[in-house]
Structure 1
Amino acid sequence: MKSFGKRAAGARLERMRASRLWAGDGFRNIHPVLPGLRDTTAPRPTLREFLASDGRRFPLGPLPSVDPHAGWRQPPGSGLRATWLGHSTVLIEIDGLRVLTDPVWGTRASPSRLAGPRRFQPVPLPLKALPPVDLVVISHDHYDHLCYPTIRELARTPVPFVTSLGVGAHLEAWGIPAHRIIELDWWESHQLPGAELRIHAAPSQHFSGRGLKDRNATLWSSMVIESPRHRVFFSGDTGLTTEYAAIRERFGAFDLIMLEVGAHHPSWGDIHLGPVNALEAHRLLGGGAFLPVHWGTFSLALHAWDEPAETLLALGPQRGAQMLMPRLGEPVEPAHGSAAVPWWRAADHPKGRHVARQPTAEAPPKAMPWPPD
C-alpha cells in the first residue's frame, strides 16, 4: 500500500545512523521522562473502546468555521499571522512568507480510505484554494501529520519541505523530488534560499511509524520558525519534557507558541501533552501567545472531543497564558489577539441551546489510537 510510505536506504539511512538519537534499530527519546506523567496502573484503551461510537467523542454538529480568504486579502499589520485549518495544520504568515505545518486534507488518519479515524470536521477550504506556500514543515510521519493524498497534491507544486530525519523517504516515494526535501536532526537548521527565514528542528518526546514493522524508523521533532523579526514554536506531537527549557535558552522568547493539546490518556502520558501539561510546556518555553492545535478534527482518544478546549479556557487565564483560540479558518495575529471565547460549544448545541461544561482541572490523560510501546 503506497500510503505506508517507504523505508530510508543508502545515504539517507547512513545519515540517520550517524545521529546521536539513533539506537541501533531506530530513534529514541534520550531525555528522561518526567515522573508522574504516565499512570502505569491505568489500563490501556482497547480496540473495542476506540471503535465504539458514542455522544461523548464527536460533536453533534459542524464546528463554526470561516473562509479565510477575506482575512488573507491584506497582509498582517504586525508581520505575523496564523490561520488554524484543523488538527495540526496551520498556515503561518511571517514577514511576507507563508509556512504550512503538518498539512492534512485527507478524510482519514489512516493508511486506508475505508477504515481508521475519520475526520468529523472538514478543512475550511480545499487544498487547491490555498494561496501559494513558500515552505511546508512536517514534524513526523504519523498519519494525522503526514497525509499521503495531501502530499500527492502538494507534489504538483514547487513548494519545498523541511522535515525530520528519515521522513524524506516517504515524501520522495510520493513524488516530491529529492532537491525539494530537507531533513533535519535535532538542533539542525535550514535557511530558505533567497529569504530571511530559518527552520530549526528541536527536541520532542514522541515516537514514529506508519506500519507494524517501522516503529521509530524516522525521527520526530518540534520546529522553530524564525525570521529577523519573529519567532514561532510548533510542537508537532510531544509529551512534557524539560527540554522545553533548553529550547527557550537557545532561541529566546517566542511570539507564537503552537502546542498539541488533544488525544490523551493516563496510560500514554509521556508522548502527548494534553491541555494541563501544554500549559506547563508553555511556561517552560517562556510564554507568548498560545495557539492550541491537535484537536477539533479527529477523534483520536476516549475523552470528550472538546475537553482540551474547555480545560484551556478555564485554566489558561489562571496560569497567565495569552490564549489564542480562533475559529477554524480565522486568521489571527498574536500581537492583536483577543480573549478566548467558547465558539466550539455551538457544535454540540446547533439550535443555540447552551449547557455549561465542567473543565478537567487535574492533569488529563493522553492517547493515540496505537500503543506507544
Structure 2
Amino acid sequence: MGAERRKPVWRRVAWGGACAAALAALVLSSACSSFGQWSRSPQEQAQVQASPQWHDGQFNNPQPMWSDMKRALWRAFDSEPGQSPAGPVPVLRSQGEALAVAPASGLRVTWFGHSSTLLEIDGQRVLLDPIWSERPSPVSWAGPKRWFAPPIPLDKLPAIDAVLVSHDHYDHLDRATVMALQARGARFIVPLGIGGHLRGWGVPNERIVELDWWQSTAVGTLQVTATPARHASGRINPQADHTLWSGFALVGPQHRVWYSGDTGLFDEMNDIGARLGPFDLTLIESGQYDADWPDWHLGPEQAVLAHQRVRGQLMMPVHWGLFALAHHGWTEPVERVLAAAACQHVSVLTPQPGQSVEPQQRASASRWWPAQPWHTAAERPVIATKRGDAAQRVELPRCS
C-alpha cells in the first residue's frame, strides 16, 4: 500500500520535472539566436586576448566594481511606487519628416527613449544603441516591456552612416533591430568581441568595426573613438565579460559629442575630457541605478559629475524613460539630474521622446514628463566606490 501511495507523488514530481524541462527547452530554442556568439574562432580570440583590458580570461574595468549582491537578489522582485508610468508617456510621433532636412547648426539629436538616439553631427548620421523591440530580452514574451512604441518607425529613419553599440546587454544590443538595420546596409562600430554576435546575425564582416578603448575609426569626416567605461557585458552568464564595453567620443570638424554608454564613475573620465574634449554635448546614462550596485551605473548626481569630468558644455540624460530596470520612480532620474545640475550650474537638455533638437538653438529645458513624487539624493544616495571597496566612496561636490 505504501508503495502505491507514493506512486502519484512520484508521478507528479516526474510530470513537474518534464514540464520544467520542456519550458527550459522552449526558452532556449526561442532565445538561442538572441544569445549571440557562443564561441570564437582562433583569430577572433587572438584579437580579444591582445587587448590590454583582457586578463584572467575576461575583460576588466579601469577600477574594480562592488555590489551588495545578496541584498540586490533579495530585493529583485520588489516594486517601487511610480516605477512605471500611470498613464501614456507624452511622445512626439512622426514618420521622420523633421529629419529630411539637415540641421542648420550641423548638430541635431533625436531621442527615442532609454539610450536609443539618432545623432546628426557635421554631415553624418549616427544611431546609438538602437532598440526597437518591445522588450530588452532574449525572448519576445518575457522581460520588461517598453512603455511606448518607437516614436519613429525604424524604416522611416533616413540613411544611417554608422550604428554604434556600447556593449552587448539586451537593452543596448537588440538582435531584431540589428537585423533590420543590416538589411538596410548599416555599418556597425562596436567594442571588441561584439562583432561575433553581429556576424552570427548576418552582418557582413566588412561592415563591422571593432574597437578597443582609445582606438578610433572614421565615419566620413567624423572621428569615432571608443572610450573606457566601468561596467560589464554578457547575454548569458557563461559569456560574462567576454566582450568589451565602452563609451564613444564623436569628433567632427565643427562639433564634439560624448556618449557615456553604460558606466559607473571612474578616474579616467578626466582623461577622456583632456584627450578628446571639450564636448558640445554629452549623452550620459542617468537612470537604472541602485545603491546596491553603485559602480555599475552612474545615477543622476554622478552623471552630472561625469559631464564635468569630460568637459561637457550641455548635458543630455539618457538611459531612462522607456523601461523599468531598477527600483526607482520612472521620472526620478531626470528630476535628480536637474536638481544636481542646478547646484553645479550645468545646462541640461531634456527632449521629449521623438523630438529632434538642435542643441545650439535650444530653448530652456522642457518638462514634458508628469509631476510625481521622487526620492532625492539625500534620501537615497548612489555613490560609487573608489576601487571596489564599499568603505571607500567617491566624494561628490556640494551644492554651490
Answer yes or no: same fold by TM over 0.5: yes
Q: Distance in 1 between matches of 2:238 and 2:67?
A: 26
Letter in 2 for 1:332: V
Q: 1:361 is matched by which residue type in structure 2? A: A
What does residue 142 of structure 2 align with? 115
1:337 is displaced (CA, Å) by: 2.2
- Displacement of 1:225 in angstroms is 1.1
Match of 1:59 in 2: 85
1:31 aligns with 2:59: no
Q: Is the 8 A contact 2:277 2:312 kept in 1?
A: no
CA deviation vs aligned residue, 1:79-115 (integer Å, no higher than 9, x gap)? 0000001111100011121000001001111111111
SS of 2:283 mapped into structure 1: strand
Alignment of 1:101-250 (within 5 A): 101-192=128-219, 195-250=220-275
For residue 361 of structure 2, what is the aligned residue in structure 1?
Answer: 336
State whether residues 236 and 259 of structure 1, in contact with CA within 8 Å, keep that contact through their aligned partners in structure 2: yes
SS in 2 for 1:281: helix
In the other structure, the counterpart of 1:274 is 299
After superposing the two structures, state which structure 1 stretch, 79-88 or 309-318, moved more.
309-318
Q: Single out whichever of 182-191 and 4-13 deviates more from structure 2.
A: 4-13
Is this contact kept in 2: 1:42–1:266, CA < 8 A?
Answer: no
The 10-residue stretch of structure 1 (62-71 or 203-212) with the greater mean CA deviation from structure 2: 62-71
Q: Which residue is equivalent to 1:14?
A: 46
1:5 to 12, 17, 36: 36
Contact map agreement 2:147 2:322 (CA 8 A) in 1: yes
Q: 1:344 to 1:45 in 2, by over 3 A?
A: farther
Q: Which residue of 1 aligns with 2:377?
A: 361
Within 2, Cα distance between the matches of 1:255 and 1:290? Answer: 9
Secondary structure at the aligned position of 2:273 is classed as helix
Whether the 8 Å contact between 1:84 and 1:91 is mirrored in structure 2 is: yes
- What is the letter of the counterpart of residue 360 of structure 1? T
CA positional deviation for 1:42: 8.3
Task: Choose the corresponding residue for 1:291, options 316, 323, 326.
Answer: 316
What are the Cα deviations for residues 245-304 of structure 1, in whole angstroms up to 9, with x where unaligned?
000111120011000011111110011001011011011111311111100111000111
State the secondary structure of the residue aligned to 2:183.
Answer: coil
Separation (CA, whole Å) in 1 of partners of 2:240 and 2:64 = 20
Q: TM-score, structure 2 length as denominator?
A: 0.83
Structure 1 unaligned blocks of 5 or more:
346-354, 368-373
The one-letter code sitting in structure 2 at the alignment partner of 1:289 is L
Uncovered stretches (5+) of structure 2, i.e. residues with no partner: 1-31, 385-400
SS at match of 1:43: helix
Distance 2:41 2:242 in 1: 11
Rate the CA distance shift 1:216–1:366 in 2: closer, same or farther, 3 A. Answer: farther
Once the two structures are TM-superposed, the CA of residue 230 in structure 1 deviates from its matched residue by: 0.9
Distance 2:198 2:67 in 1: 36
In structure 2, what is the Cα distance between the partners aligned to 1:116 and 1:255?
36
Aligned-partner Cα distance in 1 for 2:347–2:221: 27
Higher helix share: 2
Tell me by how many angstroms 1:313 deviates: 2.4
CA contact (8 A) 1:31 1:243 kept: no
**Paired residues, number:** 350
Larger Rg: 2
Kindly indicate whether the alpha-carbon contact (under 8 Å) linking 1:85 and 1:124 is maintained by their aligned counterparts in 2: yes
Does the CA contact (< 8 Å) of 2:80 and 2:328 recur in 1? no
Counterpart contact for 2:151–2:354, Cα < 8 Å:
yes
SS at match of 1:317: helix
- Give the secondary-structure state (helix, strand or coil) at the position aligned to 2:254: coil
The Cα of 1:30 is off from its aligned counterpart by 2.9
Q: Does 1:323 align with 2:348?
A: yes
Cα 1:73/1:30, change in 2 over 3 Å: closer
Q: 1:241 and 1:55 mapped to 2: Cα distance?
A: 31
CA distance in 2: counterparts of 1:2 and 1:342, whole angstroms: 40
Following superposition, the deviation at residue 53 of structure 1 comes to 5.4
2:328 is matched with which residue: 303, 312, 318?
Answer: 303
CA contact (8 A) 1:271 1:366 kept: no
Inter-partner Cα distance in structure 1 for 2:234 and 2:64: 21
Higher mean C-alpha displacement, 4-13 vs 105-114: 4-13
Query: Is the CA contact (8 Å cut-off) linking 1:56 and 1:305 kept in structure 2?
Result: yes
1:43 partnered with 2:71: yes
Note closer, same or farther for the CA distance 1:361–1:13 as it changes in structure 2 (3 Å cut): same
How far, CA to CA, are the matches of 1:32 and 1:24 in structure 2?
Answer: 14
Question: Is residue 2:337 matched to residue 1:312?
Answer: yes
